[in-house]
Amino acid sequence: MVITRNGEAAMVIQSVADYEQTLETLALLKILGKASKRLAMAKR
């Protein structure tokens, strides 16, 4: 759920399960980003 203030998004409300899934996804994306950088550097 997005709460707005003056027509602009101001806050997001989500379940704990959804929040935890978001954190897990962000952690995996961070790992993938680091791995991608390492691969790019190894190809040089």
Q: How many CA atoms lie within 13 A of 5 on its CB side?
A: 3
- Does residue 10 contact residue 4 with C-beta atoms inside 8 Å? yes
Is residue 5 classed as helix, strand or coil in its secondary structure?
A: strand
Cα–Cα distance list, 38 to 18, 30, 33, 35 (Å): 30, 12, 9, 5
Could you read off the pLDDT of 1-44 as tens digits, one per residue?
999 999 999 999 999 999 999 999 999 999 999 999 999 999 88
Q: What is the pTM of this model?
A: 0.69
- Does residue 12 contact residue 2 with C-beta atoms inside 8 Å? yes
Q: What is the pLDDT of residue 43?
A: 87
Helix residue ranges, H only, 1-44 = 16-42
